[in-house]
Structure 1
Amino acid sequence: MKPASLDLISAQETSSRLGISRASLYAYVSRGLIRSFASPHDPRQRLYALDDVEALVKRRTRFRRPTAAAATALDWGLPVLETALTQIEDGRLLYRGVDAVELAETATLEEVVRLLIGDVDPKAFTLPSSPVGPLAGPALGSSEFVSQAIRLLSEPGSEVNPSREIAAILRLMVAAASGGEPGTAPLHRHLAASWQASSEAADAIRRALVLCADHELSASAFAVRVVASTGASLRNAVIAGLAALSGPRHGAATDEVRDFLEDCDRHGGTMDDRTLPSFHHPLYPQGDPRGAALIERLPLRVVDAAILRESESRTGERPTVDAGLVMMERAHNLPRGAAFALFAIGRTAGWLAHAIEQRRQATLIRPRARYAVAQDKASS
């Protein structure tokens, strides 16, 4: 819904002010740089936030130099790579044009892998992979999961049959979280069985994996594409994604949400003047649809439901997918840390798709650096 004080302009005027094509305008919207709303007079027409357009005009004026423009593009900036995988537009997440929230109603992660990559043999998931190496049990803390997954992926694979290798990589990721051999069972069912979860929880796990499958050019997806552009193996490209996800500025959100909720538990559900973390995403001004799709189906704990309501009231924002994953973990009594593992396993589908798409483009990602002389603060 449009805020009452927000001025809107047409697509034609927006394109004219920015000097861009309609296709570029839609790219700006998908990156969250310009908010888009349905016209109150014609639902088929989109209108655009004038404040956002003027901010972009000022930004362009400030950064006319190509080197400065390139630098800002790397920090929630303008699109820098072409992809046919995922689009974020008008508050929706689309996998190859298919709404991810609608897809999550029935699809499995295996089906989403085939959608994103395009030519994966469906029989690959019905045939056994090579035996999983020794496991020390399930690894569910974020650092423990990443370490175990990287160790398993470090074993040499074979890309003679790419579909079989894709299935093997996904199974290794699942094995890191379950502590057991997935075999040929659907991945979400294996996780539910290993975590002794109910059939309702199994369906929630399936839904979460689908919703986490890809999110355009995240930091980890970019790392995957850089590594894949060198011709590295799919396993090494996924390891790059895991390494990026291990950083606290990318993969720590579920830990922060859980820590907050557990602190509230210790204090009788009291929030004081705080609000739940992960209640804003810059690409979704009207709220993260993944978080809503997860939470609306959960048998929420009473205290968690109250915290959600109070946080929404205080911030005017909606919970992100990270909040939804932790709420799901708690609602279905999944092992502590399952939220992060589900995020990483689901995102592996997108990492594989990005790696393969980058390989097909046959270009090396090698930007240039702008040299800057270090300032000697001690002499000032």
Structure 2
Amino acid sequence: MSEWLSREEALERLKVRPQTLYAYVSRGRIGMQPDRADPRRSQYRADDIAAMATRRARGRSPSAIAESAIAWGEPSIVTSISTVLHGHLVYRGQDAVALSASATLEETAAVLWALPEPVAFRAPTPDAAHQPGRASAFAQLAVLAGQGRPSLGRSATSLHADAAHAVGVLASALGASAGPDPVHWRLARDWSVDAAGADAIRRALVLLADHELNASTFAARVTASTGAPMAACLLAGLATLSGPRHGGAGEAVMQLAEDAGRHGAEAATRRWLSHDRPLPSFGHPLYPDGDPRAAALLSVIDIDDLSQSLRDAALAATGARPNIDFALAVLTRGLGLPRDAPFRLFALARSVGWAAHTIEQVTSGSVIRPRGRYEGLLPR
């Protein structure tokens, strides 16, 4: 749980006047809550205070600001699409967890793309030459990217049409059958899942649709800033997502669960930590009190005994709570989905967010081109 500081402690750590502290709170940079012992007084989130103190200590030199922004630092790109604010994921002003209670991915796309009606992701008939999964997703998006029109100078309506087609192609490549139904039903049919399981898949897709400026979204925006075709921007996002520190974390979670099945949860946890490896699927820098996406998904699925013991062992060993990757692994195990289902769900859902950011970046007209701070040799 987050630590909370008194007003005096916050002022001492920041070395600022009360007016400055209140300004940080009003801008949403520092979380505040009433003191339970004395509701007339306020407490301030220690994590936010520490981050603010670190930024102040670095000074305001351009190089220090730019360096800190690259890794979980200050927001560096203006966006109206999504943000994480004091433990809540927000899609264009709507709480993503609340939205996931009933919305489909198609309806969530309408929110993220700022459209009045749900988006239709019409998938072509699956290519019998390709087995659904990661390889098929890369292959079919690559073909679409090679044939695509540059995005620069085109209307938002035209880009939305390209995005809907690209997401539909990706859905087919990842296992969604053809047809007019929402993609969660089409996946559920392919995976022989009942109505309750289909609803859990729907919720997972909505919760994964966007997550502000994560690595894959940044890659998609960089690609979009050059005017590349929509499918090429989604392909850049997919390539970045495939890394083990991002969407590829699902494979590590499944390995951890298998280790726990063979050796017991506590022993598996010790083995991972003894090799100086962080436990996959536990903890998240943006959610010190726990990932709300994981809590929302776990609330509607049965957690098997092995997963429960693994969650307890991880919490006891590290104090970290499960994140969305853990919830996807539990969903996969509980419904008997393909082993790579976490990656498939992540890729399909997040493609909606990549498309939203691509359109926002293209219409902004700016190019993303940071400078490197050279520390190598110089010519004599």
State the TM-score, normalized to the length of structure 2.
Answer: 0.84
RMSD: 3.2
In the alignment, structure 1 residue 147 sits paired with structure 2 residue 150: no
**Structure-2 change in CA distance of 1:310 and 1:371 (3 Å):** closer
Q: 1:24 to 1:176 in 2, by over 3 A?
A: farther
Distance 1:165 1:73 in 2: 31
Give how far 1:279 is off. Answer: 1.2
Q: Which amino acid aligns with 1:78?
A: E
The residue that corresponds to 1:378 in the other structure is none
Q: Cα 1:203–1:303, aligned 2, differ >3 Å: closer, same or farther?
A: same
CA distance 1:271–1:149, shift in 2 (3 Å)? farther
Runs of 4+ residues deviating >6 angstroms: 18-24, 41-46
Larger mean CA deviation between 111-120 and 213-222 belongs to: 111-120
State which of 174, 178, 195 in structure 2 corresponds to 1:177: 174
Query: Equivalent residue for 2:330?
Result: 327
| Greater CA drift, 301-310 or 197-206 | 301-310
Q: Distance in 2 between matches of 1:194 and 1:50?
A: 47
Deviations, residues 205-238 of structure 1 (Å, cap 9, x unaligned): 1000000000000011111111111111211111
Is the contact between residue 209 and residue 350 of structure 2 (CA under 8 Å) also seen in structure 1? yes
Q: Counterpart amino acid of 2:291?
A: D
Counterpart in 2 of 1:138?
Answer: 132
Superposed displacement of residue 109, structure 1? 0.3
Question: Residue by residue, what CA displacement relative to the aligned partner does 1:309-360 show, whole Å, maximum 9, x if unpaired?
Answer: 2322332221000111111100111111101110111111110110111122
Provide the C-alpha distance between the structure 2 equivalents of 1:22 and 1:232, rounded to a whole number of angstroms: 44
Q: C-alpha separation between the residues in 1 aligned to 2:345 and 2:173?
A: 11
Corresponding residue for 2:363? 360
2:269 is aligned with 1:278: no
Distance 2:332 2:76 in 1: 35
Does the CA-based 8 Å contact 2:92-2:111 persist in structure 1?
A: yes
* Cα 1:105–1:38 shift into 2, 3 Å: farther
AA matched with 1:188: H
TM-fit CA distance, 1:112: 0.5
Q: Quick check: 2:177–2:187 contact (8 Å CA) kept in 1? A: no
What amino acid sits opposite 1:156 in the alignment?
Q
CA contact (8 A) 1:278 1:323 kept: yes
Contact residue 279 and residue 319 of structure 1 kept, 8 A: yes
Partner of residue 99, structure 2:
103
Of 156, 163, 169, which residue of structure 2 is paired with 1:166?
Answer: 163
The answer to whether residue 120 in structure 2 is matched with residue 125 in structure 1 is: yes
Letter aligned with residue 72 of structure 1: S
Give 3-state SS (helix, strand or coil) of 1:93's partner: strand
Unaligned runs of 5+ in 2: 273-278
In 2, Cα distance between equivalents of 1:364 and 1:131: 37
Identity of aligned residues (%): 39
Q: How many Å separate the matches in 2 of 1:207 and 1:45?
A: 39
Superposition deviation, residue 47 in structure 1: 3.9
Question: How far apart, in 1, do the equivalents of 2:82 and 2:39 lie?
Answer: 24
1:309 maps to: 312
Q: Which residue of 2 aligns with 1:203?
A: 199
CA contact 2:120–2:164 (8 Å) conserved in 1 = yes
Per the normalisation by structure 1, the TM-score is 0.84
Structure 1: tracts of 5 or more residues without a match: 376-380
Q: Does the 8 Å contact 1:125/1:164 carry over to 2?
A: no
Sort the Cα spacing of 1:61 and 1:200 in 2 relative to 1 into closer, same or farther, 3 A.
same
Equivalenced residues, count? 363
